[in-house]
Amino acid sequence: MATNFHSNSQSSDISTPITRIAKPNSEFYSIFSEQEVLGIINALEVRREIPLKYSYKGRGAKIWDNFYLKYIIPKWYRTASVEIDFLSNNFEYINGNIQNCEKVNIIDVGSGNSYPVKKFIYRLHQLQKINKYIALDISEELLNVSRKNFSKWFPLIEYKSQTIDIENSCIPQDLLNGKNNTANIILHLGVTIGNHHHRNRVLKNFRDSMKKNDFLVFTNETGSNSKWDGSVRGGCKYHAEEIYGWIKNKIGIRSEDCELVRKYDLETDSVVANLKLHHNYTINFCSQRINKNLEIFKGEEITIWRHHKYEIPELLQEIEQAGLKLVHYSTDKYLSRIIVICEIADN
């Protein structure tokens, strides 16, 4: 098991600890719906976590877009991203195995800024295979970025978008309806499946959104989580740091009262980034019909970022349990990332 990125520190203060009060600011309540605020409270109470999915809302959308543009999008000095390469290298398989269908809908779940699908869409468009592109994301702000980008790249392709939390709902059927000879290619890219707390629920929601001839395509990292060597890079470094600052600001926790800790979490078999408190805190959620005081004690940690790598047997098991069937997969040259293509199981 890997050790914590930051060493644990103990205070020499033996006096009675003073509980500090944190009050989420007005922007917090403007970003999140009442249902989402209750979801955050529940996750904090039950498992001491602010789910990563909520970090893409409000200014979090700009944080993610900036992270992508700075560290992931291809530049003259940097080759194409793994996601773009995966879609390019598996294009012939996907296009060649859509059975008895003249057109396809691309349903991009967790679309973000839509950059990863740009070349893939272009190739399908050249073949006159695109019926429409549907961007789905939990963040309305990221959908606005997606819409702006896509309309600039492909002004003639029909674009639709809708907010969705794929952990808690299926893809709305009214978005999927099309002609009988149209298949759906559902994309879930950016190794996002590994960020979900309820991966099985997400896969089942995808399964319940699909019909015969549809494909689900997703990517993730592969390997053993418990063998994490403590090195911090990619989303675990840059994105987690930005989320850490964003949460402190929105929740109202002082910078000197906490630290950012990365480590392997045995319970969820994931690498996590946690906000560790150095003082007792009461977080006062108070807005409209919500009035909740939540106590979190000195030394406790709040998970703000997580990622789970798949080992192949585990991946196959979760796919099968969700009622899906693996039809194709490939890895990068380092065997560290995987693209998976599924269809609904025969039964």
- Domain identity same for 209 and 260: no
CATH number of the domain that residue 175 is part of: 3.40.50.150
pLDDT at 180: 73
Same domain, 137 and 161: yes
- Looking at residue 111, its amino acid is S
Question: Which pLDDT score, from 0 to 100, does residue 145 have?
Answer: 96
What distance in Å separates the CA atoms of residue 237 and residue 258, rounded to the nearest whole number? 17
Which tokens in the block code for residue 49? 């976590």
Radius of gyration of the chain (CA): 21
**Domain range for residue 128?**
80-221+311-344
Distance of CA 26 to the CA centre of its chain: 25
Residues 199 and 61 in one domain: no
- Is 268 contained in some domain? yes
Look at residue 19 in the predicted model and tell me its pLDDT: 93
Residue 226, domain member (yes or no): no
**Do β-strands 215-221 and 337-344 pair in parallel, antiparallel, or remain unpaired?**
antiparallel
**317 and 301 housed in the same domain:** no
User: What pLDDT score does 8 carry?
Assistant: 40
- What is the predicted pLDDT for the residue at 181? 86
Q: For the whole model, what pTM was predicted?
A: 0.91
At how many degrees (to 10) do helices 140-153 and 118-126 cross? 40
Instruction: Give every residue of the chain whose pLDDT is below 70, as ranges.
Output: 1-17, 73-80, 178-179, 347
My answer on whether 51 and 198 are in the same domain is: no
pLDDT at residue number 99: 72
Provide the residue type at 129 as one letter: K
pLDDT at position 202 is 98
Count of domains for the chain: 2
